[in-house]
Structure 1
Amino acid sequence: MSSYELFIGLRYTRAKRRNHFISFISLISLLGITLGMTALITVMSVMNGFQKEVRTRILGVASHIQVSGIDGKLTGWRLVAGEALRHPEVEAAAPFVSAQGMVSYDQIVSGVAVRGILPEMENEVADFAGMMVDGELSDLVPGSFGMVIGRELARALGVFTGDKIVLISPQGQVTPAGILPRLKQFTITGIFQAGHFEYDSSLVLIHLADAQKLYRMGNDEVSGVRLKLRDLFHAPQVVQELGPMISAEVYISDWSRQHANYFRAIQIEKRMLSLILALIIAVAAFNIVSTLVMAVTDKQSDIAILRTLGASPRSIMKVFIVQGTLIGVLGTTLGVIGGVLLAYNIEAVIAAIEHVFSVQFLSREVYYISEIPSDLQLADVITVAVVSFVLTLLATLYPSYRASKVNPAEALRYE
């Protein structure tokens, strides 16, 4: 592109127009691109924030990778854990016993998922230590039959630390009177809050030795081994690599499979919202088309003069491409700046709106995530900026092509 094409294109953008409506449409196009990009970057950052928050809360209780026995029982878990720890990505391992049961207190009964753990090892693969609202995980001592329960379950049962509840095992005892369920009294030694209703309302933790006794498992038998990785996003690849490394017959799964529905739902919402908000940028790009079409009509005599002075149709086309692209570049730049600033300060903006209008978007009594999280990712910003620029560039092609086809003789006939 020669210097005179760029000069004329920039001059047309800055010059006062005979038709002020064209300037107004240009301003609307610029604002449309800016607002669209600001909204799109902010929404994508908020969706990333929610995804990260949910992932953090789930993986604070669940595991990155779970190695389970084929028939629900794994013998020789120490050997399996040692083999898994040889992988450079595996940071820690802990055994567990997983079973179903029911807890009863003062005629209130609730179904629960029972997890037998070794407290000192469990804290290496999970984050229960940071979730305890009462008591400590280390209070689970073998033989004492202590239990740590979720806050929602404690609220539903109406129990507190120190209370005794009955755990009912589905594995019954055969007696002359028939099959009777196994009952065992446990003392509540702690209460945790994971911030995820599924765990807070139905998960109970007991010591591994107590779980083995209750569910009639051997001293070296567990349900499986939970692994923590250095980078949780490498979990699918590590699962494939662990298979040949473990000598026992096991089933290996990672967090992306176990909780796929949660993350898939958030990803779909993010994509749909991004698509909807991208339409704002598309509308602004169409406004550029109308702006340049009117500008071409307004500048027909100028185009004719340039053609008579020797300008080629391609040069005329480049002049108007410069004019439209400048609107797109300016709108994209302002949109990126606005989106980044809003994404980084979304909590302060939401707090100000709540204060001014006396509303609360995410009530602590209703929602577990009571603040708007934001996780701005460079890849999202670059993607939005590139898409916006490409749309505005495409919007300049038809009007510019139309300008290049102006007939100088027809344009100057009535001048």
Structure 2
Amino acid sequence: MNFPFYIARRYVFSKKSTNAINVISAISVVGVTVATMALVVVLSVFNGFHDLVASLFTSFDPQIEVVPTKGKAVAADDPLLTKMKQLSAVEVATEVVEDQAMAVYGDRQMMVTVKGVDDNFDRLTSINDILYGDGEFTLRVANLYYGIPGIRIAQDMGLGARWEGFLKIYAPVRKGQLVNLDDPTEGFVADSLVSPGVVFAVNQMKYDASVIITSIHFARTLFDQQGMLTSLQFRLKPGSDIADVKAQMKEIAGDRFRVLDRFEQHADTFRIMQIEKVLAYVFLTFILMVACFNIISSLSMLIIEKKDDAVTLSYLGATKSQITRIFLCEGRIISTIGAVVGILLGLLLCWLQQEFGFVHLGDSSGSFVVNAYPVSVHYWDVFWILVTVVAVGWGAAWIPVRGAVRKLTEKE
């Protein structure tokens, strides 16, 4: 058996002559446990929000999106895009023309993003799962174009799920000059959309308050982008390796196109969430370091109490290194116990929140996308929490031991 570990284990679990040492040792374990539990719970909540946002985008965004590196639009028949469409893993490819316009209905108006898509957009995404109303996904019938607004647009403009008459859409003329300054409307292309009886709700303001989905033919006419597209979006066949297909598309695209997966399509959003998670980790680690000061106090008092034992062990042949490791092992045992118990309690709290949702986001049901704080345990995070707690605890144990044992074992 490891001699220093054996002695340290006896010191940890044996009753001390001074009750204060027992109390401080218990406080040390509890402090490390609570800090570790907080790390597990807080990081899991951040993971829960991350996964929740990702799931919301999944209903509306493609698995892979290809956009031009330079400029806003590119020819739809570009050979590189055609080659991407022909990859065996591609199940659905949808051309998209997207740009800003002015929407006017009655006496209300607002800036919107007109997103013109192919008729297969409902196969590309899960749009049908987020439609609300008594109609269905329809973009065009003969020369009549339909528009599906985000739910916040419908509310702000007084449209409802099915509006009467036409929704006017205005976009600036892209070519030529404004000749008649007395009539500014000559500088705009105007067209109209009718209601298919549905609105969509992604539960993300980025879409619900700004996007109107319509036919790509309408968008190309409105923005004077005939034969062009602003992005090409893909859905892959079931079982396809997205990373592998993305790599193939990047090789085809070269430096002319950017190939984006779902997370890269919202890089800013997920980057901010990741930064928040890292900052929370850093702040809680500082709290953990403060909790570990109890380990320093506990070991300092223990070294003083066991000074006679240290001298006796040195006379019996124990080296200074072995005596040092005895007290280091005690600090390490305290931090490891706190880390393991804290992780187990944190995982238990996360499971209880997942199953029963004890902690609510608000008092009003339905005010949020989810009623309770979402929790998602990523076991890679748990591993790094364990490494962090053990490292901080072991580092704290070294502070009181360094030099103290040398003084205790010096022979008169």
The structure 2 residue matched to 1:251, chosen from 257, 261, 265, is 257
In the alignment, which residue of structure 2 is the partner of 1:193?
201
Bigger mean CA deviation after superposition, 323-332 or 75-84: 75-84
Secondary structure at the counterpart of residue 406 of structure 1: helix
When residues 236 and 284 of structure 1 are mapped into structure 2, their CA distance, relative to the original with a 3 A threshold, is farther
Give the whole-Å Cα distance in 2 for the aligned partners of 1:362 and 1:231. Answer: 42
TM-score of the two chains, using structure 2 as the length reference = 0.86
Conservation of the 8 A alpha-carbon contact between 1:169 and 1:215: no
Q: Which consecutive unaligned segments of at least 5 residues does structure 2 have?
A: none
Aligned amino acid, residue 151 of structure 1? I
When residues 315 and 95 of structure 1 are mapped into structure 2, their CA distance, relative to the original with a 3 A threshold, is same
Give the whole-Å Cα distance in 1 for the aligned partners of 2:327 and 2:135. Answer: 70
In the alignment, which residue of structure 2 is the partner of 1:154?
154
Residues 144-185 of structure 1: CA deviation (Å, up to 9, x unaligned): 211111111111111123323323222349786752533323
Bigger mean CA deviation after superposition, 369-378 or 37-46: 369-378
- Relative to its length, the structure with more helix (as a share) is 1
In the alignment, which residue of structure 1 is the partner of 2:315?
308
When residues 239 and 54 of structure 1 are mapped into structure 2, their CA distance, relative to the original with a 3 A threshold, is farther
Give the whole-Å Cα distance in 2 for the aligned partners of 1:88 and 1:37. Answer: 48
In the alignment, which residue of structure 1 is the partner of 2:405?
403
How many percent of aligned residue pairs carry the same amino acid? 22
The answer to whether structure 1 residue 9 and structure 2 residue 16 are counterparts is no
1:103 positional shift: 1.6
In the alignment, which residue of structure 2 is the partner of 1:357?
none
Conservation of the 8 A alpha-carbon contact between 1:60 and 1:194: yes
In the alignment, which residue of structure 2 is the partner of 1:54?
53
Give the whole-Å Cα distance in 1 for the aligned partners of 2:351 and 2:78. Answer: 46
Conservation of the 8 A alpha-carbon contact between 1:324 and 1:392: yes
In the alignment, which residue of structure 1 is the partner of 2:340?
333
Conservation of the 8 A alpha-carbon contact between 2:5 and 2:326: yes
Conservation of the 8 A alpha-carbon contact between 1:305 and 1:408: no
Give the whole-Å Cα distance in 2 for the aligned partners of 1:293 and 1:236. Answer: 57
Residues 255-295 of structure 1: CA deviation (Å, up to 9, x unaligned): 55543221121111111111111122212222112111100
1:382 positional shift: 0.4
Give the whole-Å Cα distance in 2 for the aligned partners of 1:182 and 1:408. Answer: 93
Conservation of the 8 A alpha-carbon contact between 1:93 and 1:124: no
TM-score of the two chains, using structure 1 as the length reference = 0.85
The answer to whether structure 1 residue 225 and structure 2 residue 195 are counterparts is no
Conservation of the 8 A alpha-carbon contact between 1:67 and 1:250: no
When residues 397 and 224 of structure 1 are mapped into structure 2, their CA distance, relative to the original with a 3 A threshold, is closer
Residues 65-101 of structure 1: CA deviation (Å, up to 9, x unaligned): 4334555443344865541145576554211111221
Give the whole-Å Cα distance in 2 for the aligned partners of 1:88 and 1:398. Answer: 61
When residues 63 and 134 of structure 1 are mapped into structure 2, their CA distance, relative to the original with a 3 A threshold, is same
Q: Which consecutive unaligned segments of at least 5 residues does structure 1 have?
A: 355-359, 411-415
Aligned amino acid, residue 316 of structure 2? L
Give the whole-Å Cα distance in 1 for the aligned partners of 2:139 and 2:78. Answer: 21
The structure 2 residue matched to 1:240, chosen from 237, 250, 264, is 250
The number of residue pairs the alignment matches comes to 397
When residues 330 and 88 of structure 1 are mapped into structure 2, their CA distance, relative to the original with a 3 A threshold, is farther
Q: What's the C-alpha RMSD, in Å, of the aligned pairs? A: 2.9
In the alignment, which residue of structure 2 is the partner of 1:413?
none
Secondary structure at the counterpart of residue 194 of structure 2: strand
